[in-house]
Amino acid sequence: MTTDRIEICDLLVRCIVGINPEERVKKQDVIINLTLYADMHQAGLSDDIADAVNYKTLTKRVIDHVEESEYFLVERMAHKIAEIAVVEFGVARAVVSVQKPGALRFVRSVGVVIERSPADFA
């Protein structure tokens, strides 16, 4: 298992997410954090983007997906983000955190953290 990782921190995206009727009408903020495990040895040697996970392209793909989505659960959103990273971009493992700021009273944020690998999408 590779220990090389890419960290994408505090990606702020607006989308429809939630089970309550008012959450199904107006877009709200979610904060996404990704830790992507991939072998970066060849990219480190070659200095060529073709040998690397293009995290700019991956981030754009995640933003586009989330902004166009309508999920009831952040668990499902996190799973789909992990699927994009693992299936479309070939990372060995993805740890995805999705937070909903202000979703609960007296709490700054609430969310989930999931971890997925290719076996989860076979």
- Span 85-98, pLDDT tens digits: 999 999 999 999 99
| Backbone phi, psi, residue 61, to 5° | -60, -45
Q: Which pTM was predicted?
A: 0.95
Q: In what order do the strands lie in the sheet with 5-17?
A: 70-71, 5-17, 28-37, 93-101, 109-116
Q: Which helix (H) or strand (E) holds 80?
A: helix 74-83
Q: Is the pLDDT of residue 1 over 70?
A: no
Domain housing 17: 5-121
Residue 110 has a pLDDT of: 95
Predicted confidence at residue 102, as pLDDT, reads 84
φ and ψ at residue 121, rounded to 5 degrees:
-125, 15
Owner of token pair 């309508």: 70
Cα 62 from Cα 84, distance rounded (Å)? 7
* 7-57 tens-digit pLDDT: 999 999 999 999 999 999 999 999 999 999 999 999 999 999 999 999 999
* Residues 6 or more apart whose Cβ sits within 8 Å of residue 93: 1, 36, 37, 86, 115, 116, 117
Instruction: Inform me whether the pLDDT recorded for 2 exceeds 70.
Output: no
Q: What is the CATH number of the domain that holds 88?
A: 3.30.1130.10
Look at the chain and report how many structural domains it folds into: 1
